[in-house]
A and B are shown apart, each in its own frame.
Chain A
């Protein structure tokens, strides 16, 4: 306590000593974090996401601890004599699947796919949407017309149908799943950004930058984009759960991660095949609940971030 003091502690102490009110200056990031930390839902959601990321990163350790590899089939230990999967037990914490594989180990490896594809695809899609939206909104005129029409076009496409035809032709893979999700999800954020930039480019600070001789690129990057960080952060966070579900859907339809590699959608698809899950309900319950909790956590965190970053909008939308 004595000796080292942070500036804030010093200020508080000074205030207590003098009786004057001292205003501590806080940056917007620190304000946001403070607001977020007061929202129990956001904390739980963030905690869940961190735990999930750990679970995914340490998937090999999960495999080592159980002694079961993700694709290893336990024909005698993991299947009943009638060939029915074994229910959750001490040996297999989340039970086994139709091939006698350990569901918990597969869940951990599946989490890697969901998180990797979900986060990567959302970031890429957001980047493309931001670039196209900013260019369209900033330059306006013919550029805007063409880019807006391209966005309209991309939004009028029956995307799941196109996605499965695309995957069926090019052959399913992790990279293609990511690419397909990016391709079909960059438009909504592009539209939002375009609308915001359209309003911002009329503002005085943009004119000021232009009169100082800033280039277009510099105005877009240094004057306009920093003003859009709030919608960008909120939108990107909310794109992640959608991308995770998109990936799971592709895998569920057999158009995503190639078996025997584990993915949550693939696990659900295998559970649905031959209706094996009617005899072994945990095959749906475990990956299904994992998927639900993950999307729920990201959605709740997105909502929490919105309330924290933009308190005025907290009661809306």
Chain B
């Protein structure tokens, strides 16, 4: 049963990636502009352009080009960047650690911040604590990430630096291999920015879920048994309030791994999102296609992992699939 469930989820994941690949491929096929010219530059001779089109198969019909693209893709070959002539897989792989560092650090922070705030709110709805938590949540949700990031850079980096105090390093990334301290120091502001905005969403979600669960009969039973409030809230209620949170987390992490585009742009982090923006500006099609597909792969994989976890925990899901 579990295998069949897993099989259907994977099949759907493959379908998503297939549709995505057609989407980007057709999109760039119909795009104006001549890739040969992007590669060779403005001063290229006609003969050179013809040669490049021949080599890349750009003069063949669309379905043939797609077929070549897909067969190469299945062999792990995403082609070469029009700009740097490097393999797309290599370029993309070099950016993954940056985005992963950014996303996973931020996830830890925002869960540590958002979930307790949500729980505290739900335990005493209407209290001062709850209103404070909800105010934090609604302001955080309304704050566009790039606005918060730019304000944080100005107040916490620029003003102190001008005054001669170095609180934070200038934007950029320091690889984890060069020392974990430098790595974390460089990522602290981007983490905090991303975490504050997302923590607000999770605080709201946690509060809503917890309020629902805390009204259930079995919670009353647990209290009636004489369990401590702490045990009731954290053991009994939180456990049932978790699934929607985990689903949301999966979606968010999946999407961000494909590039926390805005945050990377604001803080000058050379991750996948920044790469995507530069590649789009440079009309570097193979790189854009590579990132979009990788982004899709992240989303699909994480969704499959989460669905499988649910299926393992709850047999009803398995049978309904």
Contacts and interface: CB of A to CB of B under 8 A. Distances in A.
B154 interface: yes
B280 interface: yes
B266 interface: yes
Most buried by B among A157, A248, A249, A277: A157
Contact of B144 (A155, A249, A303): A249
A268 B23 contact: no
B133 interface: no
A254 to B, nearest CB: 7
Interface stretch (B104-112, B227-235, B291-299): B291-299
A158 interface: yes
Contact of A153 (B15, B262, B266): B15
B147 to A, nearest CB: 4
Given A268-B150, A315-B125, A315-B211, A292 B261 contact: no
A315 B146 contact: no
B158 A249 contact: no
Contacts of A284: 147, 150-151, 154
B310 interface: no
Interface string B207-218: 110011000000
B208 A158 contact: no
B139 interface: yes
A255 B24 CA distance: 17
Nearest to B157: A278
B147 A317 contact: no
A217 B277 CA distance: 45
Contacts of A245: 144
B215 to A, nearest CB: 9
B295 A249 contact: no
A166 B280 CA distance: 10
Given A164-B261, A168-B281, A169-B28, A158 B292 contact: yes
A60 interface: no
A271 B149 CA distance: 13
Interface stretch (A23-31, A86-94, A104-112, A293-301): A293-301
Interface in A177-236: none
Interface in A1-33: none
Contacts of B27: 165-166, 169
B35 interface: no
Contact of B20 (A157, A253, A272, A300): A157
Q: In terms of DSSP, what is the predominant structure of the interface of chain B?
A: helix
Contacts of B286: none
A296 B140 CA distance: 9
A256 to B, nearest CB: 13
Given A158-B299, A165-B24, A168-B280, A249 B146 contact: yes
B116 to A, nearest CB: 18
A156 B16 contact: yes
A317 B16 contact: no
Interface string A114-145: 00000000000000000000000000000000
A70 interface: no
B288 interface: yes
Interface residues of A, number: 43
B138 A161 contact: no
A175 B11 CA distance: 35
A162 B21 CA distance: 11
Contacts of A252: 146, 262, 265
B277 A157 contact: no
A161 B28 contact: no
B142 interface: yes
B154 A249 contact: no
A159 B258 CA distance: 10
A315 B126 contact: yes
Contact of B292 (A152, A161, A277, A281): A161
Nearest to A271: B150
Contacts of B30: 169
A288 B147 contact: yes
Contacts of A258: none
B219 interface: no
A281 B30 CA distance: 42
B261 A253 contact: yes
A285 B24 CA distance: 37
A313 to B, nearest CB: 10
Nearest to A153: B16
Contacts of B147: 268, 284, 288, 291-292
Interface in B83-116: none
Contacts of B142: 241, 292, 295-296, 299
B143 A158 contact: no
B262 A161 contact: no
A93 B16 CA distance: 51
A158 B150 contact: no
Given A156-B303, A161-B276, 14 more contacts: A152-B12, A153-B16, A158-B254, A158-B259, A159-B255, A164-B261, A164-B276, A277-B150, A284-B154, A288-B147, A288-B150, A296-B139, A315-B125, A317-B204
Interface of A: 149, 152-153, 155-162, 164-166, 168-169, 241, 245, 248-249, 252-255, 268, 271-272, 277-278, 281, 284-285, 288, 291-292, 295-296, 299-300, 303, 315-317
23 contacts: A153-B16, A157-B20, A158-B292, A160-B261, A165-B28, A166-B27, A168-B288, A169-B27, A169-B32, A241-B142, A245-B144, A252-B262, A253-B261, A253-B277, A255-B280, A268-B150, A271-B150, A272-B265, A278-B154, A284-B154, A288-B147, A288-B150, A296-B142
Closest 10 CB pairs of A and B: A158-B295, A317-B208, A296-B142, A288-B147, A295-B142, A158-B258, A169-B31, A168-B280, A156-B16, A284-B150
